[in-house]
Structures are given as C-alpha cells and as structure tokens.
Amino acid sequence: MKFEKKRASTKQEIPTSSMPDIVFMLLLFFMVTTTLREVDVMVQFKLPEAEAIEKIENKRLVSYIWVGNDERIQLNDNIIKLDDVQKLMYQKRVEMPNVIVSLRVDKNSNMGIVTDIQQELRKADARRINYSTMLKQ
C-alpha cells in the first residue's frame, strides 16, 4: 500500500507581488525626508558644547551663517564681508518672514565678531537666532 504524504493545502510561498509597492512606499518616505546638503562649508570651525539645548523643530526655516576659526564669514555659498550680512539677510527675511538664523561659530572666536553679526542681524530684522552647539557628553 502506498502512502501519500500529506501536504498542507495552503500555499507555502510568501507573496512577493506587493513587494515593489512596499519598497516604493519606503522609497517615497526617504525621498521626501531627505534634505541633500546644498552648500559646501568653506570655513573650518568646531562647535562649542552645552547641556541646556533645544532642537530646531522646523528645519526648512533655518538659514545658516558660518564663522570659521580665521574669522571668515560664510553665508549661502560665499564668503562674505560683514557689511553684506545685513543686505543678504534682509532678502532672506523677505522670502521667509520667520527665518531662524543658526549661527555656527567656531568656539575659539572672539565675541567681537559675534556681536557685530548680531548687530547686523538686528538691522536686517532677522531676530530669531540659534547658537548652534553640540550636546555635552
């Protein structure tokens, strides 16, 4: 007498037909969340560290000003002079009324240049600022 092996009547394969859909969904998520780095930072700087820091909730509102260890100022893609800060920031503020200016200043610079930049920002009426810092470990 021959015995036939009992086989499960259900299919034993994982359905793969919807895999592309799932993958595309993931893909879309990452495409939307990615903010590709738009600018090359041309100055060298090391951020200071602090404990009582907060996150910037809305990254799209942020506009950066870099100050390197040689006191050069970079805004957008260019190294600029201090006198140009006001004009350029004013343009930004017209485009984005509630712009947050993130100051990425080298930790060994003097307060003189920071004060000067702040003064220019006040003239341009871009008054929401954020001193970029790392979390102290």
CB of 5 to other proteins, least distance (A): 31
Is residue 132 a contact residue for other proteins (CB under 8 A)?
yes
Structure tokens at 51: 């404990």
Is residue 87 a contact residue for other proteins (CB under 8 A)?
no
CA dist 41 → 54, 65, 91, 124 (Å)? 23, 10, 21, 23
* Cα–Cα distance, 49 to 44 (Å, whole number): 16
Phi-psi region of 71 (alpha: psi -120 to 50; beta: other; left: phi over 0): left
Is residue 97 a contact residue for other proteins (CB under 8 A)?
no
Stretch that binds other proteins, among 2-10, 73-81, 87-95, 129-137 (CB under 8 A): 129-137
Stretch that binds other proteins, among 5-13, 53-61, 73-81, 87-95 (CB under 8 A): 53-61
* Cα–Cα distance, 126 to 63 (Å, whole number): 10
Binding site for other proteins (CB under 8 A): 16, 19-20, 23-24, 26-27, 30-31, 33-37, 48, 50-56, 59, 62, 100, 102, 105-112, 114-116, 118-119, 121-123, 125, 127-135
